[in-house]
Amino acid sequence: MKLFVGVLCALFIAALAEHALEPDFRAWMLQHEKVYAADSEYQYRFQVYLSSVEKVAELNNNNDGVTYALNKFADWTEEEFATLRGYKKMATEPAPVAENAPLVSAPSAYDWCSQGKCTPVKDQGQCGSCWAFATTENIESVWMIGGHSSVQLSPQQIVDCDTGEAGCNGGDPRQAYGYVHSAGGLDTSSYYPYNAVQGSCKFSSAHIGAKISGSKNTYGGSEDQMAANLASTAPFSILVDASSWQFYSGGILPASSCGQNLDHAVVAVGYSMGQYWRVRNSWGSSWGESGFIRLQFGKNTCGLQSEVMSSTL
């Protein structure tokens, strides 16, 4: 009898806790413009949100210098979040040998975005097209650094037209660079807008915004050399294990907080030598540090050394 009463009390307390958090959930829905088609969907997403509340509290109790928040992914399950991480190894040829800049030329810190050589942060939506965004964003920066006007290019073209990849089901920046070169360039996003689904190819050579001659490996064998290459060339696409990034809000993510199972493509735009890499994501500006994350420098954090690439003009 005492056990039965204890169970009832526990259930009652849990129900009260859920009820107390429902106004927070509704405020969160309003903030992130969430609308559910049916009450059953509302109830399901509320339960996912409650689970996220517990996860974020536990993460923030780790005291690792990183902050976590109930962001727009707080009603996503881990399985749904995995659909965003769309890197799949497609390229079969060996990566090109890195062309290394002298280490002595590397400043202690550098950031291409602070130099005005990055386009605004983008949002890939619920589509595993990170690989297309990483490719596009690198090309946009390389194009500007090469002396051209800023232009926003079309990741949708790559998703639709690169038949060697899997669209919203994943791809590989290294192979995507090859597609862009063979296609003769990328259309502008104004002509070929992004819609987060794979469709028929609508590429038009009349609307090309930028062209490339190929791609190159920009790693160089160490993160110090990688930094020298970045400062002397451009932001570059990298591959990471982003499975621990769902609720990231700010701070330097330590290597101990993520694995090496590469599943996501992003763009390294800057660094502070010995401290962090500043990395641009494609989950919108409301995620992380205005769309960016900082990864611990010198520890191959999240596997960032694995495929370090840049386009060439």
User: Which of 128, 260, 146, 148 shows the shortest CA–CA distance to 197?
Assistant: 128
Say how many CA atoms lie within 13 Å of 207 toward its Cβ: 14
Query: Which residue of the set 130, 161, 168, 258 is catalytic?
Result: 130
Q: Is 195 a catalytic residue?
A: no
Tell me the pLDDT of the chain (313 aa) as tens digits: 554 434 333 333 444 456 789 999 999 999 999 999 999 999 999 999 999 999 999 999 987 889 999 999 999 999 999 999 999 998 777 778 787 888 877 899 999 999 999 999 999 999 999 999 999 999 999 999 999 999 999 999 999 999 999 999 999 999 999 999 999 999 999 999 999 999 999 999 999 999 999 999 999 899 999 999 999 999 999 999 999 999 999 999 999 999 999 999 999 999 999 999 999 999 999 999 999 999 999 999 999 999 999 999 9
Query: Which residue of the set 138, 217, 229, 281 is catalytic?
Result: 281
**Helix or strand or coil: residue 296?**
strand
Distance CA 65, CA 256 (A): 12
What is the reported pLDDT for 84? Answer: 94
pTM for the model = 0.92
Query: Which residue of the set 168, 258, 264, 302 is catalytic?
Result: 264
Question: Domains, the chain, ranges and CATH?
Answer: 2-61 (no CATH), 78-312 (3.90.70.10)
What is the reported pLDDT for 148? Answer: 98
Distance CA 275, CA 269 (A): 14
Q: Is 264 a catalytic residue?
A: yes
Residue 205 exposed, middle or buried by CB count within 10 Å (0-12, 13-18, 19+): exposed
Q: Is 281 a catalytic residue?
A: yes
CB 89 within 8 A of CB 172: yes
